[in-house]
Structure 1
Amino acid sequence: MPLPTDRLVLRAVQADDDGMLTRIWTDPDVRRYMGGSVPQDVVRQRNRDFVGKPGKYCVTLRVTGQPIGLLGIGQDHRSGHLEVSYGLLPEHWRRGYAQEAILALLAWAFDRLPDTDVIVANTRADNAPSRQLLQAIGAQFVESFGEGGEESVMYAMTRREDPTSV
């Protein structure tokens, strides 16, 4: 079921989102803090696997329907909590879209999943823009941890009366 916001629509990933997905997996700016570009055979497999997959959302501009990124929610193996993940194409950075999309997904999750009181997000410790985004939505720093030779950090968002209020 699509999830509209003021400027965006979060919807299921479709086969024709292939171009946007390929850029999410291969763009050097997007992949800077995520281990670099993904090999083409993995890109093709991920693109197929994400179509219609529960918990994976294509972020689109509400007015045009243009896909601009990917948003996901799924199990965090480190904490056992749900984890939100996100990636937008660079030409759509610094416009508040990621914040708008994440807040909408959090509101939906806290509303629809009554046993969920905490949702986490993990990012590399040196990814200042991602850390600033998480702090802007009210996420609280939980811990630092090493993963694959890189230091990462975990932030947590907790259920509030109105999860869209920051």
Structure 2
Amino acid sequence: MIDTKRLIIRPFLLTDAEDVFEWRSDAEVNKFMPYPCDESVGEVRQRLEEWIADNDKYAIELKENGKVIGDITLEWSEEDNAHEIGYNINRSFWRNGYATEAVRGLLDWARRELGVHDFTAFYAKDNGASGRVLEKCGFVIEHKGQYSRFDGSEFFEAVYVRLHIE
């Protein structure tokens, strides 16, 4: 569990399904994501079972009321020889600094508790808000490229960023 000023970052629970469905079913939130929107709370529960088993995606929970407002991922990228960070926030909570706070909290925890020093991330070039979050956290542009939806139906111009913390 990671404790920041306003957030708790913790493993997901099956009881988080309703909160998770709020952003996983929102086309605006998923505009630049490689996966499709979830169609039902039941589908989200199945996804949560996978996340819980894999233990690399965490809930972003508001301390004030226990609402899960997003997810954050930390997973090893063999290709980048670094730990990749990804995140997603419920649209109702955008523009409040929660994504930046969650990323900073995860970075600090990974450095202190896991001894991780190298991080990577990417974002769609047209998703400037996500780019600003990573820039505020110290990531610098490494190169540009593209990624696609899992089904290959859409491609996005992407910015790949990296961070090294001593």
**Fold-level match, TM-score > 0.5?**
yes
Number of positions where the alignment pairs a residue of Structure 1 with one of Structure 2: 158
For residues 152 and 78 of structure 1, do their structure 2 counterparts lie closer, same or farther at Cα, with a shift above 3 Å needed?
A: farther
Corresponding letter in the other structure for 1:153: V
Q: Deviations over 1:36-56 (max 9, x none)?
A: 633548645323212364222
Q: For 1:119 and 1:8, how far apart are their aligned partners in 2?
A: 21
For residues 125 and 42 of structure 1, do their structure 2 counterparts lie closer, same or farther at Cα, with a shift above 3 Å needed?
A: farther
Q: For 1:61 and 1:39, how far apart are their aligned partners in 2?
A: 23
Q: For 2:23 and 2:92, how far apart are their aligned partners in 1?
A: 12
For residues 42 and 65 of structure 1, do their structure 2 counterparts lie closer, same or farther at Cα, with a shift above 3 Å needed?
A: closer
Q: Percent identity?
A: 25
For residues 141 and 37 of structure 1, do their structure 2 counterparts lie closer, same or farther at Cα, with a shift above 3 Å needed?
A: same
Corresponding letter in the other structure for 2:3: P
Deviation at 1:123, TM superposition (A): 0.9
Give the structure 2 partner of residue 130 of structure 1: 130
For residues 159 and 138 of structure 1, do their structure 2 counterparts lie closer, same or farther at Cα, with a shift above 3 Å needed?
A: same
Q: Does the 8 A contact of 2:74 with 2:86 survive in 1?
A: yes
Q: Does the 8 A contact of 2:141 with 2:161 survive in 1?
A: yes
For residues 52 and 63 of structure 1, do their structure 2 counterparts lie closer, same or farther at Cα, with a shift above 3 Å needed?
A: farther
Give the structure 2 partner of residue 8 of structure 1: 7
Equivalent of residue 151 in structure 1, options 144, 154, 157: 157
**5+ residue gaps, structure 2:** 149-154
**5+ residue gaps, structure 1:** 161-166
Deviation at 1:80, TM superposition (A): 2.9
RMSD of equivalent CA atoms: 1.9
Deviation at 1:35, TM superposition (A): 4.1
Give the structure 2 partner of residue 73 of structure 1: 74
Deviation at 1:99, TM superposition (A): 0.7
Q: For 2:52 and 2:22, how far apart are their aligned partners in 1?
A: 15
Corresponding letter in the other structure for 1:143: H
User: TM-score, normalization: structure 2?
Assistant: 0.85
Q: Does the 8 A contact of 1:28 with 1:36 survive in 2?
A: no
